């Protein structure tokens, strides 16, 4: 990692802490970014924002510009989606994270978003990385699905070199021969990247596995591996999600359960919780989650 002048661990023994709207990545806290794959409607994003907040989520995520495999699939609500996301998140006191896919869109997305996401397909889009670097908005930089750790860290270097020190890395799984899972979540990347850089690293077990049943075990494993936070897809009605990512999305009750388990686990790795409102989840909120399972669960709260 000789060439990573700014991102290299050699340039700083101290870990970088990235602040996003009162949430801190890389310190003793453990911020959880949660929300749907895409903004669909005002009602959808508002309901999920409330649920995520009540369960103790720290930042709200959702895409307004979706990089889809097929041009015929839902592409996102674009600027209208940005406005709906920011309104829903800020109304419940959560900063928002959303993907930017083109360099010329960075100023627009940065006007709405507290944190810019660079997705796996764009990790090597160097003009986009430079534009994100110029914007100075904190950036969540996902690992390219076929990228080595060195390529990923050098992508972060582009953003740092353009003047933006606020980069959080996100391991989201890589392509392997295995196809039972959507990707192979490389949890060894977490401690490895911490040896190589001083930047915070979070884990996305949703895209990392593609399967709802694997999200919780991999989220807990990410805590154990030393991650600085998580990104989890949450939808109030995953079966009716407008993108294919419903299969990997938790409903609101499942997300609340996950948060309870994470919270119990954090002290063992020296992390503290940062979710003062976690106890405010109510049976009503869980019941409003559309799935039958969520409604049944609500009776236990």
For residue 249, the minimal CB distance to ligand PEP (Å) is 10
With beta carbons less than 8 A apart as the criterion, state whether 280 and 288 touch.
no
Distance CA 123, CA 145 (A): 9
- Closest CB to Mn ion: residue number: 37
Binding mask 188-217 for ligand PEP (x = CB under 6 A): -------------------x----------
| Conformation bin of residue 74: beta by default, left when phi > 0, alpha when psi is -120 to 50 | beta
Cα distances (Å, whole numbers) of residue 126 to 32, 99, 164, 226: 28, 15, 14, 29
Contact window for Mn ion (CB under 5 A) among 17-25, 33-41, 182-190, 249-257: 33-41
Residue 20's SS3 state is strand
Integer Cα distance of 114 and 116 in angstroms: 7
For residue 142, the minimal CB distance to ligand PEP (Å) is 4
Work out which of 18, 37, 140, 281 binds Mn ion, going by CB under 5 A. 37
Single out the segment in contact with Mn ion by CB under 5 A; choices: 12-20, 29-37, 92-100, 102-110.
29-37
Q: Which is nearer to ligand PEP, 130 or 142 (CB)?
A: 142
Cβ at position 184, least distance to ligand PEP in Å: 13
Q: Does 147 bind ligand PEP (CB under 6 A)?
A: no
- Burial class from Cβ neighbours inside 10 Å (0-12, 13-18, 19+) for residue 280 reads exposed
Q: Which of 40, 186, 245, 251 binds Mn ion (CB under 5 A)?
A: 245
The interface partner of residue 142, options being ligand PEP, Mn ion, none and the CB cut-off 5 to 8 Å by kind, is ligand PEP
Instruction: Please tell me what DSSP assigns to residue 236.
Output: S
CB of 38 to Mn ion, least distance (A): 7
The residue from 98, 120, 164, 289 that contacts ligand PEP (CB under 6 A) is 120
Q: Quote the CA–CA distance of 20 and 223 in Å, as a whole number.
A: 20
The pair of structure tokens assigned to 296 is: 């049944």
| Smaller CB separation from ligand PEP, 96 or 285 | 96
Residues ≥6 apart with Cβ < 8 Å to 229: 25, 30, 31, 32, 33, 58, 168, 200, 202, 203
How far, in Å, are 95, 164, 178, 201 from residue 18 at the CA level?
A: 13, 11, 34, 11
Choosing among ligand PEP, Mn ion, none, which partner's interface includes residue 119 (Cβ < 5 to 8 Å by kind)? ligand PEP
Q: CA–CA separation, 153 vs 194, rounded Å?
A: 11
Task: Work out whether 142 is an interface residue with ligand PEP (CB under 6 A).
Answer: yes
Residue window 216-255: x/- pattern of binding to ligand PEP, with contact defined by CB under 6 A: ----------------------------------------
Site residues for ligand PEP, window 163-182 (CB under 6 A)? 172
Specify the pairing of strand 18-20 against strand 23-25: antiparallel
In the complex, the smallest distance separating the C-beta of residue 123 from ligand PEP, rounded to whole angstroms, is: 8
What does the alpha-carbon distance between residue 262 and residue 29 come to, in Å, rounded to a whole number? Answer: 12
Binding site for ligand PEP (CB under 6 A): 37, 63, 119-120, 142, 172, 207
Q: Which residues bind Mn ion (CB under 5 A)?
A: 37, 245
């Amino acid at each position: 990692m000789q060439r990573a002048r700014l991102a290299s661990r050699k340039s700083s023994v101290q870990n970088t802490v990235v602040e996003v709207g009162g949430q801190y990545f890389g310190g003793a806290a453990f911020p959880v970014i949660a929300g749907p794959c895409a903004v669909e409607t005002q009602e959808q994003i508002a309901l999920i924002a409330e649920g995520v907040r009540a369960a103790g989520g720290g930042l709200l995520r959702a895409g307004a510009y979706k990089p889809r495999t097929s041009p015929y699939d839902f592409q996102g609500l674009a600027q209208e989606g940005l406005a709906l996301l920011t309104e829903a998140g800020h109304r419940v006191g959560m900063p928002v994270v959303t993907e930017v896919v083109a360099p010329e869109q960075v100023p627009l997305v940065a006007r709405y978003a507290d944190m810019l996401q660079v997705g796996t397909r764009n990790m090597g889009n160097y003009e986009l990385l430079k534009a994100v670097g110029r914007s100075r908005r904190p950036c969540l930089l996902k690992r390219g699905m076929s990228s080595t750790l060195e390529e990923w860290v050098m992508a972060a270097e582009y953003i740092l070199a353009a003047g933006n020190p606020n980069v959080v890395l996100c391991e989201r799984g890589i392509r392997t021969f295995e196809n039972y899972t959507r990707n192979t979540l490389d949890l060894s990347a977490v401690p490895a990247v911490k040896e190589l850089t001083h930047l915070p690293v979070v884990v996305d077990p949703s895209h990392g596995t593609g399967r709802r049943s694997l999200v919780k075990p991999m989220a807990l494993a990410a805590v154990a591996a030393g991650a600085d936070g998580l990104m989890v897809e949450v939808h109030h009605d995953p079966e009716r999600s407008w993108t294919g990512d419903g299969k990997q999305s938790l409903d609101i009750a499942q997300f609340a359960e996950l948060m309870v388990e994470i919270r119990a686990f954090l002290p063992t790795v020296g992390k503290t919780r940062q979710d003062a409102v976690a106890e405010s989840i109510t049976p009503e909120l869980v019941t409003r989650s559309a799935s039958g399972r969520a409604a049944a669960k609500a009776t236990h709260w």
